[in-house]
Amino acid sequence: MFERFAPEMKMVLDEALTCAAEVAARNTAPGHLLFALATVGDQTAGRPLLCAGITTTTLRLLLSSANESAGQIVPNTSPPLSRGSNDALNLAVRVAEELHQPEVRPGHLLLALLRLDAETVSEAIESCNTDRSGLSAAVLSQLSTSK
- How many structural domains are present in the chain? 1
Cβ count near 131 (within 10 Å): 12
Residues 6-36: tens digit of each pLDDT: 999 999 999 999 999 988 888 999 999 999 9
User: What's the pLDDT score for residue 69?
Assistant: 47
Is the confidence at residue 128, as pLDDT, over 80?
yes
Report how far residue 76's alpha carbon sits from residue 127's, in angstroms, rounded to the nearest whole number: 29
What is the CATH classification number for the domain harbouring 35?
Answer: 1.10.1780.10
Owning domain of residue 28: 2-145
Global pTM reads: 0.90
